[in-house]
Structure 1
Amino acid sequence: MRETVQLAIMFADIAGSTKLFETVGDTKAREITSRCIDLLKRVTQDHGGRVVKTIGDEVMCTFPSSDRAADASVKMQEEVGAHGLRWGTDLKIRVGFHFGEVIQENDDVFGDAVNLAARMSGQAKGDQIITTGETMACLSPRLKNKCRKLLTTMVKGKTAPIGIVELTWGEEEELTIMAGHSRSITQHNTGPTMSISFEGRVITLCHADPVVSFGRGSTNTFVVPDSMSSRVHARIEFRGGQIYLVDQSTNGTYVQLSNGEPPILVHREERPIEGAGVIGLGRVVTPNDPLAVHFQ
């Protein structure tokens, strides 16, 4: 039977599955991805949704409302995060969804809303949930308050710009957990180093401790609760005697050197840094900005 209905369409897939196979081997990777897909199916059903199909390491499903899709997407992220540790890997998923009119026929769904949901999944990074501004407008206030607008952009197949929105999750708990951890930590090492500080906490980057990370998520070395920062925003690495800034965010990372030169934008790339200055996640900051990360 062919009918036109209003549904939330969701795509959820495993981020970095190719790397997973390279890291743990084919047999273990297949076991982990299979368990993850089963988990995503279970969460879908628990929230009143229907699994339409699985495509490799991706699940396509539908929900009767945007709220149910949103709640399911948050639960998927929470469950995958918890189970990934038990499976012995830092597993992450990307989720994208959109609510709109679709054609439903023979247990499958078609239409512009399906294509747009797939585009939102393509916009997401691991640990991220992406939807459209149109879908955000359909959410209840409880969920709308967890959304943040990222950008407006043209999407293939659409004549008008589409609002890209992130549905955040787990952040209230993360900020509470980190609240008591702003003590000063100084490590002593020989050789080249870089001192990095935020909110009174100081870490020395060196050969022995070669990476620090920044973002809204609690797994980062420095949790920066800025609305412009991504959950996993950027990291600074000590590699081969050189310090690199590696950005993996939506809005980019700005480096303001103390020599007075214009800010440098690093976006989805890496760049060597040296000297002293401040880093802003998603925006330009000054040394006195409370959300500025200092380095020297």
Structure 2
Amino acid sequence: MAREQQRRLAAILFADAVGSSQLMGRDESGTVARLLDHLNRRLAPTVARRGGRVIRLKGDGGLIEFVSAVDAVAAAIDFQRTMAEVNRDEPQDKAIVFRVALHLGDVIVDGDDIYGDDVNVAARLESQAPPGGIIISHTLGEAIDGRIKATLHPMGELSLKNIVRPIRAFRVEWKPEDWPVSAATATPTPDATPAPRPSASSRLSIVVLPFANIGGDPEHEYFVDGVTESLTTDLSRMSGTLVIARNTAFTYKGKSVDVTHIGRELQVRYALQGSVQRGGNRLRVNVQLVDTANGSHLWAERFDKPIGDLLDMQDEVVARLARQLGTQLIGAEARRAERAPNPDSVDLYFQGMAWLNKGNTPDYLTEARRYFERALTLDPGNIEALVWSAYVDVFMASLYAAEDREARLAAGEAALVEALTQAPEHAWAHLSLGLAQIQTRRAAQGIAECERALAIDRNLAPAHAMIGLAKFRIGRGEETEAHVEEALRLSPRDPFVPAWLSIAGDAKLLLGKDEEAVSLFGRAIALNRNNPYTHFLLAAALANLDRIAEAKAALQAGLALNPKFTMRRYLAGAASDHPTFLAQRDRVADGLRKAGAPEG
């Protein structure tokens, strides 16, 4: 029998940034950082003070639920007043302005999520709000009439996309003197709920709270607990991270918890919450990462899969979530480190990792290495900084971005060997050493190192992609795709996905499957335009298809990212003396020359 849906009445708030696509087109990384700053430091705390619940914060907006309609509108005004103050001295072409819409209606509760027709109404209303303004439905307007210091201006009946009935709405106007900015940003007044104190933890620390078994099916209880335990184990592999033990975390099982209270009680910065729910023949896993200092949601993910073998599903779910969560924690720690007056070695390491996750341009890699070097200057024993600085050297040489290719590879390999003498079970050090060997005509040894990395951490998805790279270097390019597919299965939203697609495309190009190669390179570039090597390979594939104009454009895009690329560097970086590979590489070189690659 299907589980009865849970419903409740709620005030629903939608907030969305105006023109975020154009802003990102001009400055993607800067805009994303400022959007996250506004959502996490202004919207989420304002919502918390007014008793709301963040359902999700996405890249340019959020969905919030309130029990009280009055509190919902008050929070919206608080937020817009704060944003007006923030943007007061901001140039018009850089200011981030939000539209906010609210509606009162019936919602269907799905774990930590809500949905239903009335949620859709709020979402569609948002586009009708003026930039920097607030629009509310007539239903919500009646609920707050006379209870809040604001004027409601009728907008008539609005026809909204995919909403059958017209919706009557009001535009909300408020006087600044009635809503001082301090109401949203300064010390709360005596009758307001005080903001939670920050966690006392001074280092990256997290608790994986027991996942909720939505529906209570006892058949799934061991699966739910298994996901929680396995995530705890996988996160414990992150060097320098404090992960609360499973036995302590499970004392909260089945309890309604306040993550800010847990943060203070366990002295952790972050909490991971999740739920598992069965719907027909599918199983859905929802997770959210929460900052325990203020209760703001930093990241959320949903994993939806047909029900099969539960143990196999558990492995796949954990693999995907662990990689994504690790990236999110690195980003959160890097943002925290940027605000530190005196960053220590670990702070600098996280900032270096944040630069590395931006993309594979020589500039980003150089900036990442600069932070790793600073981290090692403060603490020569920082193994993570040592491993990743060595990885940057190896990777820079792999991208034909270094004049001193052989010297970088040798230095990187030496540093990795040193790191492994101190930390022999460091999976990423084994993977990086494997890459160094692959790039120095020792592909078979490189495969063995990557397999060692996987023996230590079976969820290290990049190791599968590196094995795929090694395979085409020894003339077995037809095997590469399967290894890349395994990496994608384990971590489909990994920051390295564009590089993995490029590896698969490279193998197709070597095999003469140019159309398939173009498709793979196009997917990689759509995800991350900052890998110059992918543009060069795309140029070769297009030229081999006699699409010369497109090939020349692709080549120029690559040269804009790495102007030092030449045919001399490409040919010198063969990284293999296998006759099959060398013969296949000739057609890539021909394509690059047709596209106009400089000889150097």
Query: In the alignment, which residue of structure 1 is the partner of 2:108?
Result: 103
State the partner residue of 1:12: 15
In the alignment, does 2:73 pair up with 1:70?
A: yes
Residue 81 of structure 1 aligns to a residue whose secondary structure is: helix
Match of 2:30 in 1: 28
1:1-296 matched pairs, under 5 angstroms? 2-23=5-26, 25-38=27-40, 39-85=42-88, 89-143=94-148, 146-170=151-175
Deviation at 1:105, TM superposition (A): 1.8
C-alpha change, 1:13 and 1:154, in structure 2 (3 Å) is closer
Q: Distance in 1 between matches of 2:129 and 2:100?
A: 6
Matched residue, 1:285:
none
**1 or 2, which has the higher strand percentage?**
1
The structure-2 alpha-carbon separation of the partners of 1:27 and 1:159, relative to structure 1 and needing over 3 Å to count, comes to: closer
- 1:167 CA displacement: 1.1
Please list the CA deviations of residues 176-220 of structure 1 after superposition, one character each: whole Å capped at 9, or x if unmatched: xxxxxxxxxxxxxxxxxxxxxxxxxxxxxxxxxxxxxxxxxxxxx
Which structure shows the higher helix fraction?
A: 2
Evaluate the alpha carbon distance shift between residue 15 and residue 156 of structure 1 in structure 2; reply closer, same or farther with a 3 A threshold. Answer: closer
- The alpha carbon displacement at 1:19 in A equals 2.8
CA distance in 1, matches of 2:24, 2:161: 31
Quick one: distance in 1 between partners of 2:88 and 2:149? Answer: 30
Q: 2-side partners of 1:76 and 1:173: how far apart?
A: 14
Mapped partners of 2:162, 2:97: distance in 1: 28
What SS does the corresponding residue of 1:33 show, helix, strand or coil?
helix
Determine the C-alpha separation between the residues in 2 that align with 1:43 and 1:112. 26
Distance (whole Å) between structure 2 residues aligned to residue 31 and residue 155 of structure 1: 31
Partner of residue 246, structure 1: none
Normalised TM-score (structure 1): 0.53
In the alignment, residue 34 of structure 1 is paired with which amino acid? L
Q: Say if 1:81 and 1:90, in contact at 8 Å, map to a contact too.
A: no
Would the alpha carbon gap of residues 90 and 107 (structure 1) be closer, same or farther in structure 2, given more than 3 Å must change?
Answer: same
Shift of 1:28: 2.0
Flag the structure with larger Rg. Answer: 2
Asked if structure 2 preserves the Cα contact closer than 8 Å seen for 1:65 and 1:99, the reply is: no
- C-alpha distance in 2 between matches for 1:162 and 1:156: 11
Contact residue 14 and residue 91 of structure 1 kept, 8 A: yes
> 1:43-91, CA deviations, whole angstroms, 9 ceiling, x for partnerless residues?
1111100110123201111000111110010011011112234666433
Q: Count matched residues.
A: 173
Q: TM-score of the superposition, structure 2-length normalised? A: 0.27
Question: Distance in 1 between the 2:90 and 2:33 partners?
Answer: 9
Contact 1:9 1:99 in 2 (8 A): yes
Aligned to 2:147, the other structure's residue is in SS state helix
CA distance in 2, matches of 1:57, 1:7: 23
Letter in 2 for 1:61: I
Contact 1:8-1:69 within 8 A present in 2 as well:
yes
Q: CA deviation at 1:5?
A: 0.6
2:178 and 2:75 map into 1 onto residues whose CA distance is: 18
Paired residue type of 2:50: H
Distance in 2 of aligned mates of 1:119 and 1:156: 7
Distance in 1 separating the partners of 2:175 and 2:54: 25
Q: Per-residue deviation at 1:114?
A: 0.2
Contact 2:151 2:172 (8 Å CA) reproduced? yes
Cα deviation for residue 150 of structure 1 reads 1.2
Percent of aligned pairs sharing the same letter: 27
CA distance in 2, matches of 1:157, 1:87: 36
The answer to whether the 8 Å contact 2:18/2:98 transfers is yes
Secondary structure of the 1:21 match is helix
Paired residue secondary structure (1:100)? strand
Structure 1 residue 113, shift from structure 2 partner: 1.0
State the superposition RMSD in angstroms: 2.4
Q: Are the counterparts in 2 of residues 32 and 87 from structure 1 also a CA contact under 8 Å? A: no
Q: Is the 8 A contact 1:137 1:144 kept in 2?
A: no
Range with bigger deviation, 77-86 or 108-117:
77-86
Deviation at 1:153, TM superposition (A): 2.7
Distance 2:117 2:35 in 1: 29
Change (3 A) 1:100 1:80: same
CA shift for structure 1 position 158:
4.3
- Quick one: structure 1 residues 170 and 31, their matched pair in 2 at CA, closer, same or farther if it must change by over 3 Å? farther
**Secondary structure of 1:4's match?**
strand
Label 1:35 to 1:86 Cα distance change in 2 as closer, same or farther (>3 A): farther
The answer to whether the 8 Å contact 2:10/2:67 transfers is: yes
Instruction: Please list every run of 5 or more consecutive structure 1 residues that lacks an aligned counterpart in the other structure.
Output: 175-296
Residue 26 of structure 1, CA deviation = 2.3
Contact 1:67 1:140 in 2 (8 A): no
Q: CA deviation at 1:142?
A: 3.4
